[in-house]
A = this chain, B = another copy of it.
Amino acid sequence: MSGRLEAQIAFLREADKLKSILRASRLIDGSRRENSAEHSWHIMLYALVLSEQAGPDVDINRVLRMLLLHDIVEIDAGDAPIHGHVDHAAMAAKEAAAAERLFGLLPGDQASSFRALWDEFEAASTPDAIFAKSIDRLQTPIANLVTGGGSWTEYDVTLAQLEQRVGVPVKRGLPRVWDWLLPQLRAFFARQG
């Protein structure tokens, strides 16, 4: 078992680097940018707390695993801010190579199952992945509303852009939460004039 365990520990050590990948969003207290490891923890908490919003075809345990793994590719590929100018095809290729290398540190059976879960998340077409993507998109708007705009201000985001980039995925998996959030977003952007 020693070779197998060595491979697993090598992967777990490498994963430490996700704590140094910074996102566009900031902590709610404004003190610094959020990193992708703590973001992953936070959205797993979102998923657990809001699991009652998921349809009966969603397996929350699979969703939690998807969210646990979903950003690991950023160790090699970096974070692509949702409101930034990103070459999506180039980014997808970089992330696929990252998945290959990073999950490839694991023993073959785990590399395959983790990769399959990440591919499913990225494709966002199963009920579990749709719910996971909605959760992933929800955390930043909740924080930005409290902090007076956060990354929206920095990236000069309009309500129409937000409805497209955040509203569409959130509505798919969390329609009632979107109904609750949208009036707050409208009020916020109305105040910005």
Q: What is A's interface to B at a CB cutoff of 8 Å?
A: 1-2, 5, 8-9, 11-13, 15-20, 27-29, 31, 34-35, 37-38, 40-42, 44-46, 48-50, 61, 64-65, 68-69, 106, 110, 139, 142-143, 146, 176-177, 180
Contact = CB atoms under 8 A, between A and B. Distances in A.
Contacts of A18: 38, 41
A13 B45 CA distance: 11
Given A8-B50, A11-B49, A49-B8, A1 B176 contact: yes
Q: Assembly of this chain: how many copies?
A: 2
B16 A27 contact: yes
Contacts of A34: 19
A106 B68 contact: no
A13 to B, nearest CB: 6
Given A2-B180, A177-B5, A180-B5, A20 B12 contact: no
Contacts of A28: 13, 16-17
B19 A27 contact: yes
Contacts of A139: 12
A83 to B, nearest CB: 20
Contacts of A27: 16, 19-20
Contacts of A20: 27, 29, 31
Contacts of A65: 48, 64
A110 B49 contact: yes
Contact of A41 (B5, B17, B40): B40
Nearest to A61: B61
| Residue among A31, A49, A50 facing the most chain B CB atoms (10 A cut-off) | A49
Contacts of A15: 42, 45
28 contacts: A1-B176, A2-B180, A5-B176, A5-B180, A8-B49, A8-B50, A11-B49, A12-B49, A13-B28, A13-B143, A13-B146, A15-B42, A15-B45, A16-B28, A16-B42, A16-B143, A17-B28, A17-B29, A18-B41, A20-B27, A20-B31, A38-B38, A40-B41, A41-B41, A44-B44, A44-B68, A49-B106, A64-B68
